[in-house]
Amino acid sequence: MIGQLIFIIILVAAIYLFSKNVAKIRRNILLGKDTDRSDQPAKRWRIMAKVALGQTKMVKRPVAAVMHFFIYVGFVIINLEVMEIMIDGIFGSHRVFSKPLGSLYGLLIGSFEILAVLVLTSCVVFLIRRNIIHLKRFSGVEMTEWPKSDANYILCIEILLMSAFLTMNAADYKLQALHFGEYIKAGNFPVSSLIAPLLPGSAHALVITERVCWWFHICGILAFLNYLPYSKHFHILLAFPNVYYSNLNLKGKFTNMPSVTNEVKAMLDPSFTPPAPADGEVSRFGAKDVTDLTWKNLMEAYTCTECGRCTSVCPANITGKLLSPRKIMMDTRDRITEVGKNIDLNGKDHDDGKTLLDTYITREEIWACTTCNACVEACPVNINPLEIITELRRYAVMEEAQSPASLNNMFGNMENNGAPWKYSQADRFNWAENK
C-alpha cells in the first residue's frame, strides 16, 4: 500500500505540473491575433494523416527518416506498456494485461522489446550524428549551448528509459523462471532473455533490480513528460494540430490585410468608415512584436523541433546571408515565452521595452529572404517562417517607411511608371519593336 500511495502521489503531481505548464503555453499561443483555419476540414484531416502521421516529408532524408520512424513508432506503441505499468502502480498488481490478453500479450511484449532496441539504436545514431560527425545543419548562430544540450538530453533520456525497460524485463524473466512470488509466467522476452545471464542469480537481488528499474522507468517517463514544455520536443504533442491548421493556400500567395483593404476603400469612397478594431486597439500594419502575429504563427514557434531542414535549403543562408529560418522560429518562441513570463510576473499590460523586430530579429535578416518558400517546403510539419518574415517586413515598410534603397526605387517606379523598372509607361513595349 505504501508503494501504491507513493506512486499515486507522484502520478498526480506529474499530471498537475504538466497541465499547468501546457496551460501557460496555450495562453501564450492565444496571445496572437485570430485567424480562421477551420475551412475544408476533410482536406485538413487528409494532410494531417499524410504529413504528421505518415511523416511523408521526412523521407527526403532517408537515414534520418528511418531512425525517426523507429523512435516515433516506439514512442506510440510502448505507451501501451506504460499504461500497464501505471495500472500496476495504482492497484499493486503485476502485468495486469497478461491474463485478459492471453497469448497476444507475449507477442506484444516481444514486439515492445524489439522496438526498444530499435529506439535505443536510433538514439545512439542520432548522438553520433550530432556530436561526432557534426552534421552542418545542426550548427548555426542560433544553435547555442542550450539547443544543443536539449537535443542530447532527450536522446540520453530515451537511451536510459529503454535500457531500464529491458533490464526490468530481464529480471522479470529470471524471476518467472524461478517461479518466485507474483512473477507468474507471462510474456515473451526475445531481447531481455539475452541480458538475463548478466544479472545476479539470487531471487532477492533480482526483485530489487526489477523494482528499481520499474520505478526508474515510470518516474523517468513522468519526468520526461514535464520536461517537454521546456524543450523543443514539445513538437511531440503539437505536430498533429499544427499540421491540421496548415495554410491551404498555394505557396507564395500573400494575404490581404483587412486594415489595408479598409484604407483603400476609404480612399476610393470618402463615405466609407473603416470599422473599429474589435479589441479596441489601434490597428497595426504588419507585425512588430509577437502579439501582432497570429496564434498559428505562435503555435508553429512552439512546434519547431530545430531540425535545421529549413535553414539547410535556404538560398540566402547557403550564400552566406544572415538569415536562418530556424532562427526566426526559435526567436519567435523565445520572445512569446518571455512575454508570457512578464504577464505572470507583472500583469498583462507590462511593457519590457523589447520587441521581436530589432531585439530578437534584425532588419538584415528579414530583408535577406527571397520569399522562395524553400523553408516552408522543407519543414516536416508544415511550419511557415515566411509568414513571420513578411509580417515583419510589412511593419517596417508600412508603419516606419523603412526599407532597403533598392526597394524604395522600385516603389517609386511602381508609383510613377506602373512597373518596377525606370521606364515610362509609353516605353514599356519598346522591346517588341522589329520583332
The number of beta carbons lying within 10 Å of the beta carbon of residue 159 is 17
Q: What average pLDDT does this structure show over 169-190?
A: 86
With cell 523586430, the residue in question is: 357
> Which of these, 191, 150, 185, 153, lies nearest to 169 by C-alpha position?
191
Output the pLDDT for position 433: 80
Q: What is the pLDDT of residues 98-124, one digit of tens each?
A: 888 888 888 888 989 999 999 999 999
> What is the average per-residue pLDDT within 171-191?
86
Mean pLDDT of 138-165: 93
pLDDT at 279: 59
Position 283 confidence tier, pLDDT thresholds 50, 70, 90:
low
Residue type, 333: R
**How does the average pLDDT of the chain come out, rounded?**
90
Grid coordinates of 401: 517607411
Smallest CA-to-CA distance from 329 within 354, 358, 308, 355 is with 308
Lowest-confidence pick of 366-375, 392-401, 426-435: 426-435
Neighbour tally for 38: CB within 10 Å:
8
- The pLDDT value recorded for residue 319 is 95
Helix (H, G, I), strand (E, B) or coil at 144: coil
Q: Is a pLDDT exceeding 70 seen at residue 234?
A: yes
What pLDDT score does 352 carry? 92
Question: From the CB of residue 399, how many other CB atoms can be counted at a distance below 10 Å?
Answer: 13
pLDDT of residue 425: 77
What's the confidence (pLDDT) of residue 282?
59
The rounded distance, in Å, linking the Cα atoms of 247 and 431 is 39
Q: What integer pLDDT is reported at residue 293 of this predicted model?
A: 95
- Integer Cα distance of 187 and 176 in angstroms: 10
Query: Which pLDDT band, with edges at 50, 70 and 90, does 128 fall under?
Result: very high
Cα 23-387-130 angle, rounded to 5 deg: 70
Kindly report which listed range (307-321, 327-341, 409-423) carries the lowest average pLDDT score: 409-423
Which of the residue ranges 94-98, 114-118, 130-134, 214-218 would you say has the lowest mean pLDDT? 94-98
Average pLDDT over residues 417-428: 80
Residue 383 CB contacts under 8 Å (≥ 6 apart), including other chains = 242, 300, 303, 304, 310, 329, 376
Q: What is the pLDDT of residue 280?
A: 56
Q: Is the pLDDT of residue 78 over 90?
A: no
- Given a contact cutoff of 8 angstroms between Cβ atoms, the answer to whether 392 and 356 are in contact is yes
Q: Which has the minimum average pLDDT: 114-123, 246-255, 356-365?
A: 246-255
Q: How far apart are CA 330 and CA 324, in angstroms?
A: 10
Cβ-proximal residues to 260 (8 Å cutoff; 6+ apart), any chain: 285, 398
pLDDT for the residue numbered 417: 81
pLDDT in tens, 340-358: 999 999 988 888 999 999 9
Looking at the DSSP bridge assignments, the partners of residue 33 are 294
Stronger pLDDT, 176 or 304, i.e. the higher one: 304
**pLDDT over 90 at 95, yes or no:** no
What band does 260 get if pLDDT is binned at 50, 70 and 90?
A: confident
* Interval 1-15: pLDDT, tens: 788 899 999 999 999
Q: Kindly tell me if the per-residue pLDDT of 381 is higher than 60.
A: yes
Q: What pLDDT score was predicted for residue 320?
A: 93
316 has pLDDT over 70: yes
- List Cα–Cα distances, 261 to 126, 227, 264, in angstroms: 49, 44, 5
Q: What per-residue confidence (pLDDT) applies to 277?
A: 66
Per the listing, cell 522496438 goes with: 115
Cα 383–chain centre separation = 9
